[in-house]
Amino acid sequence: MSWIPLESDPKVMTKYLHKLGVPTQWGLVDMYGLDPDLLAMLPKPVLAIILLYPVNPKLENYKVELESKEKESGASSDKLYHMIQYVSNACGTVALIHSIANNLNQIQLEDGELKKFLEDTKDLSSSERGEKLTKVEGITNAHEIFAQEGQTEAPAEDEKVLYHFIAFVERDGSIYDLDGRKPFPINHGPSSPVTFLDDAARVCREYMKRDPDEVHFHLMALTANE
């Protein structure tokens, strides 16, 4: 099974979230860099960071390294909402779901497809959640609509896409990497609501350092709308 990939466009993704029942007071914005001055310009609060990165051997090796360290440390939290991605090109939707589902203490979802999906899957395993997503027509159809709304022509469903979305959130005093291609959340160390943005920048730099010649990274923040 394959979907048309979402473009890394905060305006389109924000419209998608609102369609799914996220209140209009929340939305996505571009991040233009990781320098403190640029981070300070973001609307507050920042609830999640979404990173789009290229899938290449260097970053795939880093993915394996993170999974191995996490498995050894056992530092992950079972309180996090995490799901496995079973649909090709669904990573944008999975990253959005991870961002929203782990911030329900601040985001009061309206009745809609996402609220129902999260209620139906809250007690399921990561794999069961991912399997459930493949059968939810409301989210599937919304993804397809907004995948066509980017500034560039949408690729075909079966076209190989070499980029991947992941999300970062703070939970219970740690910053976590939530990725549908990883079997569990990755704990990247201590964090707090106050330091989350700086901590997320640190983790994103670690991704970028794995391939310093690569320029195709893109960052968005889930924030309060100005």
Q: Is 98 a catalytic residue?
A: no
Query: Phi/psi at 114 (nearest 5 deg)?
Result: -70, -45
DSSP secondary structure of 204-222: HHHHHHTSTT----EEEEE
Token pair in block for residue 38: 């640029």
Biggest alpha carbon–alpha carbon distance for the chain: 45
Of the listed 82, 164, 188, 204, which one is catalytic? 164
Of the listed 91, 143, 188, 204, which one is catalytic? 91
Q: How far apart are CA 3 and CA 22, in angstroms?
A: 22
Which amino acid is located at 8 in the chain?
S
Q: b vs e for 82-93, b when ≥16 Cβ sit within 10 Å of the residue's Cβ?
A: bbbbbbebbbbb
Instruction: List CB contacts of 161: < 8 A, sequence separation 6 or more.
Output: 5, 88, 89, 155
The answer to whether 47 touches 135, Cβ cutoff 8 Å, is no
The answer to whether 192 touches 203, Cβ cutoff 8 Å, is no
Q: Is 164 a catalytic residue?
A: yes
Nearest to 88, CA basis, from 5, 203, 197, 206: 5
**β-bridge mates for residue 46, sequence order:** 223
Catalytic residues: 91, 164
